[in-house]
Structure 1
């Protein structure tokens, strides 16, 4: 039967079928040979700048019920050279899941990292994740959860937000203005029909000059207007800072100094840095949701108690910790220090996954992240 959508099901992931063919073949061969070693595997990637770890919750749920112990940095931790996870147990207990394990954390960590970098640059100016429209709908919950962990102050996807316990935020699209044939009718209808607790942020660049539409919105809605949104397309952008400053001038001149300015459309690190002192909020799309994944790999580093690592990998069980001198990765028998938490013990969950705790770790590390943004 043809699938309605091209989506791998949760059941297929749990069964270990969301994997690469050679893992299935490896399992067949080892079973036929009667080989099932006890292994230690590192999951990590040496990156050049501080990154944020996310996606652990899904990995833990995937490995529940298997014959493994899972140790990991808590979600929201900042890493550079350190393995983010360590898996110990029967290789047959988790080998088939390698593809899904990496898939759960590669994109989630990339989205969280991209968001944290933008948040570090934006400072106190709120940022909202607007990028799910650029990605497959099946990934929306992962994107919004990872963006929230990374420091986003709001997310836009309704189902994605609800799936992870958040409430979607947003303004109005050009489609509403165009459907109603003029901006004033759209602003008025929005104010009339949308719940009062939703901020009145009116799109002000559909047909006319941004400063003209902004003033018209302020005059139409008065005290009800919270902000105007400028989403000038790339072909008409010009100098966005100059546009924002003109809008601010015209609003202030008429006594609308309490009306904020929210900008979106092609916002990235450079644009946020350029505008953060003159705007009151950013909508950030592809620069959060569509970044390249972190290139994590899973590597066996110990077999049946003996160090064993492929060329280019450091063998043996390791511990990871960060102090005032930075990040440390050392042989496990040389230290009692560790930032790893035990997530699974014999396949049973022994660790919680507080999304707000993870977000707090990121927000407390923004100084470290901002110091390396220029090198990203």
Structure 2
């Protein structure tokens, strides 16, 4: 079988997915017989700034660190945070030195995607929002993307293998390629082939913008398929014109012909702004590039304590810390051995003790946590 340019799980777990200077660090420390007991923290920014992010990727990070002689505390998956540490690792430094590169990757990329996903979720709280983005990323990352989407509260995912990895079911109906396969002017044949050939449990959603006007094709699809659930409009942005006007016209003409029960679903370049603009007309949205184009959050791992003494490089806050959520939605950072704010909930909670994972990872619980946190802190408001 052809080999793909990607690393195996075994390579990552062994610490070989590392930057070369960590290999040099191990060589130097071992030569000197120096393996200090340290506390290290993962942070993106030192102080709160009002820039909230949704924490994701923690399950993969936990499995990377499991079996090492370390204790780890971390935020829970689906927790919103604004500055300060999201993870604290304590143990002999050589236990996790070579894991830093992979650890930060496990956290940075999904956190960026999950945050973008939550932006779309809160933009359309009453809308159906689905993840359509797996075509924009390396296929090995599909489960990561789809998990981030579900943690963010999206209603469904599209990647088949990604969904299977997560114990979920992928959703989707038809691409333009199906319509084109039957030739110009034969859209009805394509819609009927889908209706007659696809499992009855799959929603009957017809793609209605391949060759002609969106309204015309939608009315033809309704005539071709009994009990059509929705029409999907995926018109390329260069041909949309006033997209809201097109959808208003479509909704009007569907309703005028007694098809109030037929929904409208849109996809293609959908972002929070377009969801807010169209949510009164549209029942569902397919979100892709807004999530997959999200910048990974710039996490860094820094030693903050060495052999029980504060230690951090310039520009970083030394000493082990705790972060707190207060009932008013505040995010507070303080030294772990000091009292936190009144009524503040400590957010760094046990993840690994003596190398053993002591936490379960439930996507639905993480999603509930994300949506509750979003309301508490006013995310996206």
- TM range, smaller chain: over 0.9
CA shift, 1:269, in A, is 1.5
Query: Which residue in 2 is equivalent to 1:218?
Result: 222
Query: Secondary structure of the equivalent of 2:146?
Result: helix
Structure 1: state its 5+ residue gaps: none
Whether the aligned pair in 2 keeps the contact of 1:134 and 1:289 (CA below 8 Å) is: yes
Match of residue 234, structure 2, among 231, 235, 242: 231
TM score, norm. by length of structure 2: 0.95
TM score, norm. by length of structure 1: 0.96
Give the whole-Å Cα distance in 2 for the aligned partners of 1:200 and 1:3.
38
2:340 paired with 1:322 = no
2:285 paired with 1:278 = no
Match of residue 351, structure 2, among 324, 343, 356: 343
Query: Which residue in 2 is equivalent to 1:32?
Result: 31
Give the whole-Å Cα distance in 1 for the aligned partners of 2:258 and 2:365.
41
Structure 2: state its 5+ residue gaps: none
Match of residue 373, structure 1, among 370, 373, 380: 380
Deviating above 2 A after TM superposition, structure 1's stretches of 4 or more consecutive aligned residues are 365-369, 371-374
Post-superposition Cα deviations, 1:138-175, rounded to whole Å, max 9, x if no partner, equal 10000000111011101110001111111101121000
Whether the aligned pair in 1 keeps the contact of 2:123 and 2:273 (CA below 8 Å) is: no
Q: Matched residue pairs, number?
A: 371
CA shift, 1:234, in A, is 1.4
Give the whole-Å Cα distance in 2 for the aligned partners of 1:44 and 1:180.
53
Moved more, 333-342 or 207-216: 333-342
CA shift, 1:3, in A, is 6.3
Query: Which residue in 1 is equivalent to 2:336?
Result: 332
CA shift, 1:365, in A, is 2.3
Query: Which residue in 2 is equivalent to 1:19?
Result: 18
Whether the aligned pair in 2 keeps the contact of 1:120 and 1:367 (CA below 8 Å) is: no
Query: Secondary structure of the equivalent of 2:333?
Result: strand
Query: Which residue in 2 is equivalent to 1:59?
Result: 61
CA shift, 1:324, in A, is 2.3
2:308 paired with 1:305 = yes
Query: Which residue in 2 is equivalent to 1:143?
Result: 145
Query: Secondary structure of the equivalent of 1:364?
Result: helix
Match of residue 365, structure 2, among 357, 363, 375: 357
Give the whole-Å Cα distance in 1 for the aligned partners of 2:302 and 2:32.
22
Give the whole-Å Cα distance in 1 for the aligned partners of 2:339 and 2:292.
38
Whether the aligned pair in 2 keeps the contact of 1:135 and 1:290 (CA below 8 Å) is: no
Whether the aligned pair in 1 keeps the contact of 2:195 and 2:204 (CA below 8 Å) is: yes
Query: Secondary structure of the equivalent of 1:316?
Result: coil
Query: Residues 104 and 192 of structure 1: is their aligned pair in 2 closer, same or farther, counting only changes over 3 Å?
Result: same
CA shift, 1:48, in A, is 4.5
Whether the aligned pair in 1 keeps the contact of 2:80 and 2:374 (CA below 8 Å) is: no
Give the whole-Å Cα distance in 2 for the aligned partners of 1:3 and 1:188.
38
Give the whole-Å Cα distance in 2 for the aligned partners of 1:368 and 1:216.
46
Give the whole-Å Cα distance in 1 for the aligned partners of 2:201 and 2:374.
30
Question: Could you say what the CA RMSD is over the residues aligned between the two structures, in angstroms?
Answer: 1.4
Query: Which residue in 2 is equivalent to 1:49?
Result: 51
Whether the aligned pair in 2 keeps the contact of 1:230 and 1:262 (CA below 8 Å) is: yes
Match of residue 115, structure 1, among 110, 114, 117: 117
Query: Secondary structure of the equivalent of 1:334?
Result: coil
2:243 paired with 1:244 = no
Structural mapping, 1:46-195, within 5 Å = 46=45, 48-181=50-183, 182-195=186-199
Give the whole-Å Cα distance in 1 for the aligned partners of 2:220 and 2:327.
53
Give the whole-Å Cα distance in 1 for the aligned partners of 2:300 and 2:196.
52
Moved more, 66-75 or 44-53: 44-53
CA shift, 1:42, in A, is 0.8
CA shift, 1:277, in A, is 1.0
Whether the aligned pair in 2 keeps the contact of 1:141 and 1:163 (CA below 8 Å) is: yes
Query: Secondary structure of the equivalent of 1:283?
Result: strand
CA shift, 1:82, in A, is 2.3
